[in-house]
């Protein structure tokens, strides 16, 4: 365990090598007659959108599978297959982000212009999103067709995609322009949006992939799913908190949840805790672009000590998660869940 960073960066290098293999298979997929032009387009689109993030979701498939194998050395094939599933999740993420950025009319993503903002791309990005989505079953067919859990993998990706798209829908129809009404924002709504839009694909699917590779039946692990969903909600609350109180240098972006009228945990909690006077100010100034309006919202957040309320939420969530995890019969499964929790507890970015 001496050189942990070395090990991690080595894993990352190996993981990126698998990306190159998968990319070249996709660019030579026999189901399509490629031209130099089409190949170059897809390659540029993949390189721009797929490997650019932190790769947490993809890497955690390998982590989780290793923990499920309880210290047994993984074969080259096992590392490759776990990496391929990790990349399928990164492909899924890229597909969502390319289309989300169009829907939200965003400008930047991961420190560069959104794909649809790149010259000559524009709304071709919508079709690129469809292609990204369709690469997933191509990868699964090529490498998992003969596995006993092949159908379960297809089902898993299809179901999680449906859940994520449905979460995005609730988010979009709740924040409709011209219908800005804070009174519909509540903790149950916040929870629903986060559960479907983020938790399934960010927390559940990486572990579900590892469980399937370890020949486990997902129906036997409903409680694991529920714990991961709770972890995903905890993660998103941290995200909402950091959007307002985090250091932009550390988190790599400037938060705009207040301006964007987001159903953030902070505003939901504020509505719960503030007096009538403060509530009036929230209703009047939330969702406005002007920095003066934003400052008024932040002042209320400070007046009601939201930072303290969050710290309390964070420690209570952590205790609750730890006790659910320790109730798990399998020590290997406990290790997977604790590893996830360890990565996100008290994070600053």
64, 339 Cβ separation under 8 angstroms: yes
* Confidence grade of residue 310 (pLDDT, cut at 50, 70, 90): very high
109 pLDDT above the threshold of 70: yes
| CA angle, residues 201, 202, 203, in degrees to nearest 5 | 100
Average pLDDT, the chain: 93
- 4: pLDDT confidence band, cut at 50, 70 and 90? very low
Is the pLDDT score of 2 beyond 60?
no
Share of the chain above pLDDT 70, in %: 97
Q: What's the pLDDT at 3?
A: 35
| pLDDT surpasses 70 at 287 | yes
pLDDT of amino acid 5: 42
260: which residues sit within 8 A by CB, 6+ positions away? Answer: 175, 287
Summarize pLDDT for 42-69 with one digit per residue, the tens.
999 999 999 988 999 999 999 999 999 9
* Nearest by Cα to 193 from 177, 224, 169: 169
Report residue 174's pLDDT band, with 50, 70 and 90 as the boundaries: confident
Greater pLDDT, 309 or 6: 309
pLDDT at 315: 95
Q: How far apart are CA 211 and CA 118, in angstroms?
A: 39
For residue 146, the SS3 value is coil
Reading the block at residue 282, the tokens are 């929230």
- pTM here? 0.93
Of the pLDDT bands very low, low, confident and very high (cuts 50, 70, 90), residue 161 is very high
The larger pLDDT score, comparing residue 260 to residue 309, is at 309
Range of lowest pLDDT (8-12, 125-129, 187-191, 219-223): 8-12
Q: What is the pLDDT of residue 6?
A: 45
Local structure of 216: helix, strand or coil: coil
- Can you tell me the distance from the alpha carbon of 270 to that of 117, in angstroms, rounded to the nearest whole number? 36
Pick the residue with more confidence: 149 or 247?
A: 149
> Within a 13 Å sphere around the CA of 236, how many CA atoms are in the beta-carbon half?
26
Q: Is the dihedral of CA 342, 243, 123, 199 positive or negative?
A: positive
Residue 7 is predicted with a pLDDT of: 53
CA pair distance 320, 40, nearest whole angstrom: 50
Output the pLDDT for position 175: 81
The model's confidence at residue 247, banded by pLDDT at 50, 70 and 90, is confident
Average pLDDT for residues 29-43, to the nearest whole number?
98
């Amino acid at each position: 365990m001496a050189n942990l960073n070395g090990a991690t960066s080595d894993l990352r290098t190996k993981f990126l090598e698998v990306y190159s293999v998968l990319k070249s298979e996709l660019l030579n997929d026999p189901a399509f007659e490629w031209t130099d032009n089409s190949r170059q387009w897809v390659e540029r689109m993949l390189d721009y959108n797929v490997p650019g993030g932190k790769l947490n979701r993809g890497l955690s498939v390998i982590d989780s599978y290793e923990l499920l194998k309880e210290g047994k050395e993984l074969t080259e094939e096992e590392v490759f297959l776990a990496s391929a599933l990790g990349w399928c999740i990164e492909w899924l993420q890229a597909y969502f982000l390319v289309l989300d950025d169009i829907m939200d009319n965003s400008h930047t993503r991961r420190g560069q212009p959104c794909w649809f903002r790149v010259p000559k791309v524009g709304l071709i990005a919508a079709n690129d999103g469809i292609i990204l989505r369709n690469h997933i079953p191509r990868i699964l067919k090529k490498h998992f067709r003969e596995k006993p859990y092949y159908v379960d993998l297809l089902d898993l990706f299809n179901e999680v995609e449906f859940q994520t798209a449905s979460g995005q829908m609730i988010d979009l129809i709740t924040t409709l322009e011209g219908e800005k009404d804070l009174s519909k924002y509540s903790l149950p709504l916040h929870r629903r949006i986060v559960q479907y839009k983020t938790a399934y694909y960010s927390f559940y699917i990486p572990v579900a992939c590892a469980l399937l590779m370890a020949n486990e039946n997902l129906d036997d692990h409903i409680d694991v799913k529920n714990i991961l969903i709770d972890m995903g909600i905890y993660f998103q609350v941290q995200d909402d908190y950091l959007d307002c109180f985090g250091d932009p240098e550390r988190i790599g972006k400037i938060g705009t949840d207040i301006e964007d009228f987001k159903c953030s945990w902070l505003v939901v909690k504020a509505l719960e805790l503030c007096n009538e006077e403060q509530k009036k100010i929230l209703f009047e100034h939330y969702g406005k672009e002007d920095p003066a309006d934003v400052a008024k919202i932040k002042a209320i957040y400070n007046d009601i000590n939201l930072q303290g309320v969050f710290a309390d939420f964070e420690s209570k969530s952590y205790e609750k998660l730890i006790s659910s995890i320790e109730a798990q019969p399998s020590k290997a499964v406990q290790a997977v869940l604790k590893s996830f929790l360890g990565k996100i507890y008290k994070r600053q970015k």
